Amino acid sequence: MEYLVSNEMTMMDKLQILSDAAKYDVACTSSGVDRKGNGRDMGNCLAGGICHSFSADGRCISLLKILFTNECIYDCKYCLNRRSNDIPRATFTPEEVCELTMQFYRRNYIEGLFLSSGIIQNPNYTMELIYRTIYLLRNRYRFNGYVHVKAIPGADPRLIQLTGYLADRMSVNLELPTAEGLKNLAPNKHRKTILKPMRQIQNGITENKNEIMLYRNAPRFVAGGQSTQMIIGATPENDFQIINVAENLYDKFSLKRVFYSAFVRVNEDKDLPALPGGPPLLREHRLYQADWLLRFYGFKAKELLSEDRPFFNVMLDPKEDWAVRHLEQFPVEINRAPYEMILRVPGIGVKSAMRIVNARRSASLDFNALKKIGVVLKRALYFITCNGRMMYHTKLEEDYIVRNLTADAKVKRQLGEDGMTYRQLSLFDDTTLAAQPTIVDSGKVLMGQM
Amino acid sequence: MEGTGTENIILICEDSMEGILTGIYEAYALRMPHDKISLQIGEEANFRLFTTYRKVVPEAVKAEKVMRTLKQRFWEKDYHDLFMALAAGDNRKAEAVYKTVVWGLSGKCKGSILAHMTDDAVRTVVELARRAGNELQRMREFLRFSEMENGILYALIGPKDNVLPMVTAHFADRLPMENFLIFDEVHNLYAIHPAGKEWFLMSGNVVEDKEDRTMEMSATEEYYQELFRGFCHSISIESRKNLKLQMNMLPLRFRPYMVEFQKK
């Protein structure tokens, strides 16, 4: 019966079903690998990655993100493709996936392929299908672009090893932050079987690095590193647990990225939380901010949160939150403080901190100079001094600073309909222009002076 | 000339890499204090007093000499950024690059010159380089090829800065065995890449004189465009819909060139 259906399906239907089924996978980055073209085959990779489009939810479209099939023998409660759901099912053939990838790539629609899959028959069979597809893509279609594949937990380690030599990035989904949550919502999955391939890939990458040091032309194994993702808000874990898990993954499994996915209630199930306010997007946002602090700013999870304060502040971002609780370390003198300390000032990022450290070698910096080199002072001004001076007469008191930092957030909340506006990082800060006109201003308008 | 000691000189350069580099060469050839000289692109509307205006005719030999010096004397990253700044569609670039080069060659500064962002000229160069670099990245991202009936890939772009050479280099590396053609309609430039051969640029006027024919799309082109449009639609999560974020990441000015935003 099902065979009949899938035979009648057009490519359009299949792509629609299988990209729709893959959309809750967050990892859509094409970064981490720098590979020049070889002058013959199609494709190259840029370390920074390339986003080719942005969908209506504002997420980037970088890879052709599809499932090989949305048939699944598992029955995870949070998943749209679970066995007990009555939804249209479809399966690609390896050739179809390759053809689609090549044609899209040629037209510069995508940066490569992201291939995941529901579990068909058993993990081994599924992994074999994935491997066959990637093998075909690399060897017959001679595709040299970016490939991200999922390692299926429970599959034969040899299959994962072989796939790793063809892929740029591999990932194993952690699904939920704790083993307990996994047991409740994904009865067929076990924490152990998830961590096993993760460890295997980690070891593979380390060994491969040693090989490459010895033999320059040794084949690359998962050159773009390994990532994972977990669903936030489907189970009752707190933020402290989640960032501890993330920190562990970075330290012990040397992951490149951990992705957080705000839980979207796609199934009706009594074990799933009701989310009247929609997916917990603000929480996801705060976790990503904290994730950045862990990876690039030298913070530790236990500095950001603790058992007594297990959740992030809704009003303040994690760095502001940390700073106002550690005022004894401020103000920071811009002209003398070490790079690591400048990095801890709210509102100053990696780029600004680098610029400060570089620029202060040739000239002493005052606030004007900071503005000129593109450092945004809106939040930083409460925490820094230039040659011993604060920018304004601000007090170094927790209440005072919090009030000022959040005053702006309130205005934003009134303006933006969802309470959050995401902005791409930019050098120049133009949100301060939204000042309300004063009575004098409106008078001037009436008099025709303005 | 009498009185050149007190007079300022403005060199008017052509808006091209060659033009500005020749301008820098001529500025050095004047053997005058550099603060008396400035470079400018195009004609001046408000003429200044006590100032001599001189036109600079671009010369490949002189430009090449300057280029060689810069390559030797500047850090690789700085050298790259100077050239990115020269690609920017902004008239401040000639003066900013000139003054940065003067400072860099004076030997007063150790290490990377572009790290000294408190200097106005340096800051302008960094800003322009960053802007042109962003535009280049945007083009790598948002350029869309369509396949013509003879198998040639064709793309139309409209970048603010003159980044076509860098864009073409990227795609030549990526698609070595494809015949492709990119047309920059803002700067009226064609980039042509024959399969397996070196690519080259051509001014739009030349191409139009030669031949004026419209190309037809290949039979399968419409099919793949439709597939991609469907993909972009189905990959989006309805309950996370955020058009403002989409707008921030992908401004409207790029959309007319992209298949997924073209209504059929």
User: Which residues between 83 and 112 in chain A have a beta carbon less than 8 angstroms from any beta carbon of chain B?
Assistant: 100, 103-104, 106-109
CA–CA dist B26, B182 (Å, integer): 34
The topology (CATH level 3) of A2-223 is TIM Barrel (3.20.20)
Residues of B within 8 A of A39 (CB-CB) are 176
- pLDDT for A142 equals 95
Sheet order of strands, A226-232 included: A63-67, A112-116, A146-150, A169-171, A226-232, A257-262
> Measured between CB atoms, which of A11, A20, A24 is closest to B227?
A11
Decide if A338 touches B, using CB distance below 8 A. Answer: no
The dihedral sign for the CA sequence B136, B140, B141, B143 = positive
Strands annotated E in A45-168: 53-54, 60-61, 63-67, 112-116, 146-150
Six token digits for residue B182: 């990119």
Angle at B115 between CA B110 and CA B120, to 5 degrees: 105
Decide if B169 touches A, using CB distance below 8 A. Answer: no
Query: Using the 8-state DSSP alphabet, how is residue A287 labeled?
Result: H
User: Which residues between 343 and 382 in chain A have a beta carbon less than 8 angstroms from any beta carbon of chain B?
Assistant: 355, 358-359, 361-363, 365, 369, 372-374
How confident is the prediction along chain A (450 residues), in pLDDT tens digits per residue? 444 444 578 999 999 999 999 999 887 788 888 999 998 999 999 998 999 999 999 999 999 999 999 999 999 999 999 999 999 999 999 999 999 999 999 999 999 999 999 999 999 999 999 999 999 999 999 999 999 999 999 999 999 999 999 999 999 999 999 999 999 999 889 999 999 999 999 999 999 999 999 998 888 999 999 999 999 999 999 999 999 999 999 999 999 999 999 999 998 888 899 888 889 999 999 999 999 999 999 999 999 999 999 999 888 999 999 999 999 999 999 999 999 999 999 999 999 999 999 889 888 999 999 998 889 999 999 999 999 999 988 888 989 999 988 886 655 554 444 444 455 555 555 554 445 556 666 666 666 665
Reported ipTM exceeds the 0.95 cut: no
Question: Is-contact A55 B230, C-beta < 8 A?
Answer: no
Neighbour tally for A431: CB within 10 Å: 13
How confident is the prediction along chain B (264 residues), in pLDDT tens digits per residue? 444 556 889 999 988 899 999 999 999 999 999 989 999 888 766 777 888 888 999 999 999 999 999 999 999 999 999 999 999 998 899 999 999 999 899 887 777 888 888 888 999 999 999 999 999 999 999 999 999 988 999 999 999 999 999 999 999 999 999 999 999 999 999 999 999 999 999 987 766 655 555 678 888 999 999 999 999 999 999 888 999 999 999 999 999 999 999 876
Closest Cα in chain A, distance from residue B119 (Å): 9
Query: Using the 8-state DSSP alphabet, how is residue B36 labeled?
Result: G
- Candidates B188, B200, B170, B137; CA nearest to B15 is B188
Q: Where are the domains of chain A?
A: 2-223, 318-433
Decide if A298 touches B, using CB distance below 8 A. Answer: no
